[in-house]
Amino acid sequence: MEEILKTLPQHTCSWLKHKIIMYKYQDFWTSKQLLEGTLMAQQSFKAEPSDVFLCSAPKTGTTWLKALAFAIVTRENFDESTSPLLKKLVHECVPFLERQVEEIEHNRESSSLPLVATHLPYASLPESVIASNCRMVYIYRNIKDVIVSNYHFLREAFKLSMEDAPFEETFEDFYNGNSSYGPYWDHILGYRKASLDMPDKILFLKYEDLKSEPISNVKRLAEFIGYPFSNDEEKAGVIENIINMCSFENLSSLEVNKTRKPKGGMLENRLYYRKGQDGDWKNYFTNEMKEKIDKIMDEKLSGTGLILK
């Protein structure tokens, strides 16, 4: 591993007091630990046609998407009072490809759970994933809120105050493309291009749309991954029950998400639940920052039909 790292470009996050070193592998930035998991997944993971991949860049609604998909897929066995989501971290219910390959295999054998999560760019997915013809769901979000969410997540993970970790510096990192699994626009573009080529294979969900129109978008999600709601379920309020159970307000209030750490993890569960709001960026961005990031996103996403403002 060390020999591989020596050949890769490096970036040290100065705003985190040099506590993170990122390496550029296959045109995206990642840590040493996640690179090891990525290489293992690329070399050994065998996707199944029945798999459903939940894909995202960090801090774009990953936890919420995983909770909703898990509740949809397991609703025949659990309801809003018995779901494992009430006692386990969402990331334990739906494991990450580049972190928890063994858990994915265990889920297949023990429960036939088809869900797999990943932050990997489309071009860096294991070849078996592309070849398997499995379905993928990609969630994306306004980059300005992503930057703010990422800032607080990492700052609190490394126990730094806002004075010790200037927001201006994390903004510049993002603007220059130096973010985990980034550049963010390249991450979006990879999946967007693939979704246009294979619209029946990749569903694009916008975080803000999921917030403003949850019922219609949860129905879309359920239909796409092969677990549509019946008319009786709709009449019985099953969709609303799932939305309420997976809401930020509910999940963040659970004891498991206030105090516990995931198995083998270093970060407290509470770090995955900060605000869950749109527009928090307005409390951090100067007009100059807004203009800079809007301009680069307009340039990068031109012609895609995507709007991230």
How many Å apart are CA 36 and CA 84, to the nearest integer?
29
Across 29-42, average pLDDT: 95
pTM: 0.91
Q: Known binder of ligand: residue 175?
A: no
- The domain spans of the chain are 2-300
How many Å apart are CA 65 and CA 205, to the nearest integer?
9
Rg of the Cα atoms in the chain = 19
Q: Contact 272/91 with Cβ under 8 angstroms?
A: yes
- CATH number corresponding to 2-300: 3.40.50.300
For 206-254, the pLDDT digits (tens) are 999 999 999 999 999 999 999 999 999 999 999 999 999 999 888 888 8
Across 198-205, average pLDDT: 95
pLDDT band for position 156 (50/70/90)?
Answer: confident
Sheet holding 115-118, edge to edge: 115-118, 52-56, 135-140, 202-206
Q: Known binder of ligand: residue 149?
A: yes
Q: Contact 21/10 with Cβ under 8 angstroms?
A: yes
Cis, peptide link before residue 183, omega less than 30° from 0 = yes
Inter-helix orientation angle 143-157/184-197, to 10°: 130
Q: Known binder of ligand: residue 170?
A: no
Q: Known binder of ligand: residue 295?
A: no
pLDDT band for position 91 (50/70/90)?
Answer: confident
Give the amino acid at 156: E
Look over the chain and give the mean of its residue pLDDT values, rounded to a whole number.
90
Across 145-150, average pLDDT: 93
Q: Known binder of ligand: residue 276?
A: yes
Number of other CB atoms surrounding residue 61 within 10 Å: 23
Name every residue whose Cβ is closer than 8 Å to that of residue 43 and which is 6 or more positions away in sequence.
126
Which residues does the annotation mark as catalytic?
119
Q: Known binder of ligand: residue 7?
A: no
Adjacent-strand bridge partners of 12: 21
